[in-house]
Amino acid sequence: MLIAISGGIGSGKSVVAHMLMSMGYEVYDCDNRARRLIDESKCIREAIGDSLGRCCLSTDGSLDRKVVSDIVFKNPDKLASLNRITHAAVREDIDNWRKCRSEKTIFVETAILYQSEIDKMVDAVIEVTAPVEIRIKRVMHRNNLSYDEVLNRIKAQNNTVVNPHPRVFTIINDGIEAVLPQLHDIMNILVSK
C-alpha cells in the first residue's frame, strides 16, 4: 500500500514522515528526490533553463535554485511550467522506487499531491494541516525567509481540489493537539485493512 503524506509548506508533513521512519516505515521524500533528479539530469536542467530563462543555470550548468524560486513563486505560469517538467520525472521515480520495495506499506511525502497527480498513484492520504499563521512562522524560522516570501509559497501551493482522494485522514498539527496519537489512530485503521 502506498500512502501519501501531504500538506502545505510548514504544515508539519516532514514531522509525520520522520515519525513514520522511526516506526520503521520507508518514506519517499518528493522534494529531496526531485532535487536529486534535477541535479543528475542535464536534460531536466536544460528544459528548466529553456522554460524559465537561462538565468536559472549557473556557468557550470547546475540549477540556481534561488533564482528559480524567485521566478516561480511570483509567477503562477512559470511555476506551472516548472511543475510540468519535474512532475513526470518524479512520478516515474516513485514508480521505480515502489517496485523495489518489499514492504506492504510505504509512504510518499509531497506538498503538491494533486498538482503533481501523485494522488492517482496512492491508496490513501494523510493530510497534515496547521493554521496559516503558524505555518508562516515555522517556515520563516526554518528557511530564513521573509513573511511575504513564505506567503507567496503558500499561495503557489494552494489548489482547489475538485475530486479529492476517496481515503483522506487528517492530522492537525497546531502545536496544541499531539500529533503522534493522531498518527497512531490513522495507522491502526490503515494497517488493519
pLDDT of residue 193: 61
To the nearest 10°, report the CA torsion of 135, 137, 138, 139. 90
Predicted confidence at residue 188, as pLDDT, reads 96
Mean pLDDT taken over the chain: 94
DSSP 80-111: HHHHHHHHHHHHHHHHHHHHT---S-EEEEES
Describe the strand order of the beta sheet including 124-129 as a list of residue ranges: 27-29, 106-110, 2-6, 124-129, 168-172
pLDDT band for position 39 (cuts 50, 70, 90): very high
Any idea which of 97-101, 152-156, 162-166, 182-186 has the lowest mean pLDDT?
152-156
Query: Looking at 64-68, 148-152, 165-169, which range is the least confident one?
Result: 148-152
For 63-106, the pLDDT digits (tens) are 999 999 999 988 889 988 999 999 999 999 999 999 999 999 99
Q: List all residues 6 or more positions away from 166 whose beta carbon is below 8 Å from its beta carbon.
A: none
Q: How far apart are CA 116 and CA 6, in angstroms?
A: 12
The domain tally of the chain equals 1
pLDDT in tens, 170-192: 999 999 999 999 999 999 999 88
Nearest to 192 by CA among 125, 5, 74, 184: 184
Dihedrals φ, ψ of 122, to 5°? -105, 160
Range of the domain at 24: 2-192
What is the predicted pLDDT for the residue at 191? 87
| Cα separation, 48 vs 86, whole angstroms | 9
Q: What is the pTM of this model?
A: 0.86
Q: By C-alpha distance, which of 158, 139, 101, 117 is closest to 14? A: 139
Determine the average pLDDT of the residues in 117-144: 96
The CATH number linked to 38 is 3.40.50.300
